[in-house]
């Protein structure tokens, strides 16, 4: 059994093909203006509220049915166990940085309940139990392996954080059960993988945690059997592409189908590539990444253009109002990107992680941490509001596990030294290549300001590698121990500072955050002639509440407008707003009750000057409802 008391989120410490090694959740203390308060709300409000929901909705009672403590009928849907596991994973990460006896007690109870519910043969799923026990492993679309994968992730987190094997033992017994049953037909095994990927990355991480190669081998099987047509799957309404089962992964190039399924799968494939040399899979990941980020990604990081099948659309199919952009899909994209970053050390993966965290993911959560978006559109008429829970409740606990694990995404180590990916005031402890400890003290008002000061408390010769985000403006600069860095800083790269460090050396990174007018590829028809406003990593939007007396749908951003950034600590928990002198071009009254008419040349009936205020996209729909827009007309 491995012992990683520092609690890495993905333990690539000994992965054969990892460029980057983990620095655990416990090694990073966030004390910043942006994330630290959000982690506190998650700890103090969200996790407790979600546990109540797990109880109220029968998700925990479902486990009690199996222990004999309840006679209730099964409640909810067949993948409900996964929400319990995700909550448990989130609680574990939270305990890593913030011990809490009450939460520990809840976790212990829940772990004991899960362990008691496990069947004697290792199987564990509360839906396929009792009267439905005979239906186990008969339908690959019913998420049994998906739930198992979430159990494995929760068990690994729980073991890393607490040192207890109570849940890990449940996981390995279930994993053994799965390894015994799934494989080649000629070996008398079930030849399929799950309709919803997740078990692949769960098994890979379980293998890392237990040093049991068998689990990795099983993950390999699940990855490589996909798309080989070994079974006529009872897929019903949805087809093979929806399940990424239309081609072997190594032959896939276009990212298609259910967005969450896709990114969970490719995260698992990346795990496999971290551990083994799989050049064909590795190439496929590059093609699929390009497909996603070059043709199918919302400016917010949202993925999944279609409500129909919660799926990716065609190239450049990125409608704003009907965007699906599921919160879970953006979280899955981070999981995939993090593994790609570990594989390559390439900044574009960290850029995507940042885009997701500050926009497409964070919009999924209300400022008070109690309500959620499943779907994250980029335009709305005021009807889309966050909800306290969902029948399919994947997104809330996914947020509740991602947020407390965030410290684990801040920094990595490599053979050369330390890599800093995300910027936030706080402290990092890490072990250098020579075995010595290093401590970084970071000070910044990021994401509101791009000035970052890093005190380096370590000695010896090693490399501090800092991310220069893709969005950085002209004039980015770096100063090390008072000396200006001689080379230019290229946006979307890492800058490597190799030197013999003196304890207390100060590194100053200045990342200018001009307001950017971002255009979209011309094939995204509805964004033609429009821009999105960004500043630093943040995408902005217009909401009606900041722009009284004008319909935000009518607002035009003139080319000549100067856009003013102003920090407003009292607004939306503290945000920097953007404002400009715009125009309102209301819809001509000739369009009343008219959908089509012969083209009429000329300007709208009236154009009025108007002062326009934009707020960060993540903060929308926290006040009164009304139209919201990300993409603004420019004429």
Q: Which residues bind its own copies (CB under 8 A)?
A: 290, 293-295, 297, 299, 306-308, 313-314, 317, 319-322, 379, 381, 516-523, 525-526, 528-529, 531-532, 553, 559, 587-588, 591, 593-601, 631, 633-634
Q: Let me know the angle formed at the C-alpha of 355 by 572 and 468, rounded to the nearest 5 degrees.
A: 110
Rounded to an integer, what distance in angstroms lies between the CA atom of residue 287 and that of residue 270? 13
Rounded to an integer, what distance in angstroms lies between the CA atom of residue 334 and that of residue 355? 9
By beta-carbon proximity to its own copies, the closer residue of 188 and 596 is 596
By beta-carbon proximity to its own copies, the closer residue of 594 and 624 is 594
Q: Which of 192, 224, 218 is nearest to 205 (CA)?
A: 218
Cα–Cα distances in angstroms (integers) from residue 105 to residues 61, 158, 373, in the given order: 18, 13, 29
Is 470 a residue of the active site? no
By beta-carbon proximity to its own copies, the closer residue of 349 and 501 is 349
Return the bridge partners of 454, or none: 442, 507
Report the nearest approach of its own copies to the CB of residue 292 (Å).
10
By beta-carbon proximity to its own copies, the closer residue of 218 and 300 is 300
Q: How far apart are the first and last CA of the chain?
A: 63
- b/e map of 180-196 (b: 16 or more CB within 10 Å)? eebbeeeeeebbbbbbb
**Tokens in use for 317?**
């199919």
Rg (Cα) of the chain, in Å, rounded?
Answer: 25
By beta-carbon proximity to its own copies, the closer residue of 122 and 582 is 582
Cα–Cα distances in angstroms (integers) from residue 532 to residues 201, 315, 379, 517, in the given order: 35, 20, 12, 6
**Tokens in use for 523?**
């094939």
By beta-carbon proximity to its own copies, the closer residue of 181 and 287 is 287
**Tokens in use for 191?**
């030849």
Report the nearest approach of its own copies to the CB of residue 371 (Å).
21
Is the CB of residue 584 less than 8 Å from the CB of residue 556? yes
Report the nearest approach of its own copies to the CB of residue 34 (Å).
23
SS3 of 460, please? strand
Report the nearest approach of its own copies to the CB of residue 164 (Å).
40
**Tokens in use for 287?**
């093609």
- Check the CA dihedral 569-574-576-578 and report its sign: negative
Return the bridge partners of 420, or none: 411, 466
> DSSP class of residue 311?
B
Pairing of strands 460-468, 417-420: parallel
E-state strands within 172-217? none
Pairing of strands 28-30, 477-480: unpaired
Cα–Cα distances in angstroms (integers) from residue 140 to residues 190, 197, 298, 633, in the given order: 10, 11, 31, 46
**Catalytic residue (choose from 394, 395, 520, 541):** 394
Rounded to an integer, what distance in angstroms lies between the CA atom of residue 385 and that of residue 230? 43
- b/e map of 447-461 (b: 16 or more CB within 10 Å)? bbbbbbebebbbbee
Report the nearest approach of its own copies to the CB of residue 219 (Å).
31
Rounded to an integer, what distance in angstroms lies between the CA atom of residue 257 and that of residue 361? 20
Cα–Cα distances in angstroms (integers) from residue 98 to residues 26, 39, 50, 165, 292, in the given order: 9, 10, 18, 20, 36
Report the nearest approach of its own copies to the CB of residue 575 (Å).
22
**Catalytic residue (choose from 310, 326, 354, 543):** 310
Is 310 a residue of the active site? yes
Q: Which of 568, 531, 556, 560 is nearest to 610 (CA)?
A: 556
Report the nearest approach of its own copies to the CB of residue 514 (Å).
9
By beta-carbon proximity to its own copies, the closer residue of 252 and 412 is 252
Report the nearest approach of its own copies to the CB of residue 595 (Å).
5
Q: How many CB atoms lie within 10 A of CB 72?
A: 11
Report the nearest approach of its own copies to the CB of residue 44 (Å).
35
Report the nearest approach of its own copies to the CB of residue 310 (Å).
9
Q: How many CB atoms lie within 10 A of CB 532?
A: 24
Question: Would you please indicate which residues are annotated as catalytic (active-site) residues?
Answer: 310, 394
């Amino acid at each position: 059994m491995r012992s990683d008391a520092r609690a890495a989120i993905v333990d690539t410490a000994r992965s054969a093909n990892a460029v980057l090694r983990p620095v655990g959740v416990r090694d990073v203390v966030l004390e910043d203006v942006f994330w630290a308060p959000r982690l506190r709300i998650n700890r103090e409000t969200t996790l407790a509220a979600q546990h109540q929901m797990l109880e109220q909705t029968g998700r925990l009672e479902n486990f009690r049915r199996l222990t004999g403590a309840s006679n209730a009928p099964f409640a909810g849907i067949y993948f409900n166990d996964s929400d319990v596991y995700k909550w448990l994973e989130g609680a574990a990460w939270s305990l890593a940085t913030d011990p809490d006896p009450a939460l520990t007690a809840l976790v212990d109870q829940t772990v004991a309940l899960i362990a008691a519910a496990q069947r004697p043969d290792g199987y564990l799923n509360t839906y396929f139990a009792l009267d439905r026990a005979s239906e186990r492993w008969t339908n690959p679309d019913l998420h049994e392996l998906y739930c198992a994968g979430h159990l494995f992730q929760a068990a690994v987190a729980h073991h890393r954080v607490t040192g207890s094997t109570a849940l890990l033992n449940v996981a390995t017994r279930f994993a053994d059960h799965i390894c015994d049953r799934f494989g080649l037909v000629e070996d008398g095994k079930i030849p399929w993988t799950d309709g919803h990927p997740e078990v692949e990355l769960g098994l890979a991480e379980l293998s890392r945690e237990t040093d049991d190669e068998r689990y990795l081998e099983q993950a390999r099987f699940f990855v490589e059997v996909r798309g080989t047509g070994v079974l006529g799957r009872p897929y019903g309404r949805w087809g093979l592409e929806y399940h990424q089962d239309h081609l072997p992964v190594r032959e896939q190039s276009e990212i298609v189908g259910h967005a969450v399924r896709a990114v969970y799968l490719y995260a698992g494939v990346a795990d496999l590539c971290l551990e083994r040399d799989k050049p064909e899979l590795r190439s496929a990941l590059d093609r699929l990444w390009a497909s996603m980020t070059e043709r199918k990604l919302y400016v917010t990081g949202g993925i999944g253009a279609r409500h129909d099948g919660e799926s990716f659309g065609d190239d450049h199919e990125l409608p704003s109002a009907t965007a699906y952009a599921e919160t879970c899909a953006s979280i899955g994209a981070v999981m995939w990107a993090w593994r790609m970053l570990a594989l390559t050390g390439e900044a574009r993966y960290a850029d995507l992680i940042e885009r997701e965290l500050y926009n497409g993911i964070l919009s999924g959560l209300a400022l008070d941490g109690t309500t959620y978006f499943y779907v994250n559109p980029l335009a709305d008429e005021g009807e889309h509001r966050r909800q306290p829970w969902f029948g399919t409740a994947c997104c809330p606990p996914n947020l509740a596990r991602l947020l407390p694990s965030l410290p684990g995404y801040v920094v990595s180590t490599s053979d050369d030294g330390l890599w800093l990916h995300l910027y936030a005031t706080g402290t990092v402890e890490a072990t250098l290549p020579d075995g010595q400890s290093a401590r970084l003290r970071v000070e910044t008002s990021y994401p509101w300001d791009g000035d970052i000061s890093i005190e380096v408390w370590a000695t010896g010769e090693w490399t501090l590698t800092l991310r220069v985000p893709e969005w950085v403006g002209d004039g980015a600069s770096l100063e090390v121990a008072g000396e200006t860095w001689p080379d230019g800083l290229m946006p979307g790269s890492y800058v490597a500072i190799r030197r013999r460090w003196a304890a207390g050396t100060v590194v100053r990174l200045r990342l200018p955050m001009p307001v950017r007018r971002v255009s979209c590829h011309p094939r995204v028809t509805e964004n033609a002639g429009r821009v999105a406003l960004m500043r630093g990593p943040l995408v902005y939007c217009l909401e009606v509440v900041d722009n009284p007396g004008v319909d935000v749908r009518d607002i035009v951003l003139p080319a000549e407008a100067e856009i003013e950034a102003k920090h407003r600590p009292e607004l939306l928990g503290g945000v920097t707003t953007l404002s400009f002198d715009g125009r309102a071009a209301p819809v001509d009254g000739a369009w009343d009750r008219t959908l089509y008419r012969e083209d009429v040349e000329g300007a709208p009936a009236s154009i009025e000057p108007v002062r326009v205020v934009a707020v960060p996209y993540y903060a929308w729909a926290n006040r009164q409802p009304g139209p919201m827009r990300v993409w603004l007309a420019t004429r």
